[in-house]
Copies of this chain bind each other. A is one copy, B any other.
Amino acid sequence: MGKAVSKKGEQPSVDKTNFETLNGFTGYHLKRATNLMMSDLNATLKPFELRLLSYTALVLIVDNPRIRMSQLAAAMDVERPNMVVIVDALEGRELISRQRLENDRRAYALNITLAGRSLYEKATVAVRGHEERLTRQLDAQTRDKVIEAIKLILKIGGVAHT
């Protein structure tokens, strides 16, 4: 957790760790920043009893009314069996509803409930606060540049969706 605190007055048997090589890797910085942001995000969502995946599901259902579970799973890059437990939990809390499709009775249309929308809105306010806190030092211009750069990386990887 915390950084090692050197005891006063004695020469530390080990000096500060040298991160020279790792610092040369973009992926290293990306991963550390992501770890930090995901950790803070989970703490942000905790009061709402939401986690990264359940919140993401809520968001996508709000933005995509009547989305199917399989489409949601694909959008979230989650295996279908794992999607089931996420949806089960959200439905159990009556934040979303499953509704059989008339035209394809295998599938469900997922919709947000009133309670779900209310929670979504509160959580999203908190998430925007978390984002603002963690990217405060970045002027909007820089932040946009970062996102642009990241999108380029995603495009190269062939997983860009926008």
Which A positions have Cβ atoms within 8 angstroms of B? 3-5, 10-14, 16-23, 25-27, 29-38, 40-41, 56, 59-60, 62-68, 71, 74-75, 77, 101, 103-104, 107, 109, 124, 127, 130-131, 133-138, 142-143, 145-147, 149-157, 159, 161-162
Q: Indicate the member of A18, A40, A101 with the most B CB atoms within 10 Å.
A: A18
Q: Once the chains are docked, how many angstroms separate the CA of A136 from the CA of B104?
A: 44
- Copy tally for this chain in the complex stands at 2
Residue of A109, A155, A161 contacting most chain B CB atoms (<10 Å): A161
Q: How far is the CB of A146 from chain B (nearest CB, A)?
A: 5
CA distance A151 to B4 in the complex (A): 21
Q: Which of A5, A101, A103, A159 gathers most chain B CB within 10 Å?
A: A159
Looking at the assembled complex, report how far the CB atom of A31 sits from the nearest CB atom of chain B, in whole angstroms. 5
Task: Determine if A134 and B162 form an interchain contact, defined as CB atoms under 8 angstroms apart.
Answer: no
A137:B156 contact, CB within 8 angstroms: yes
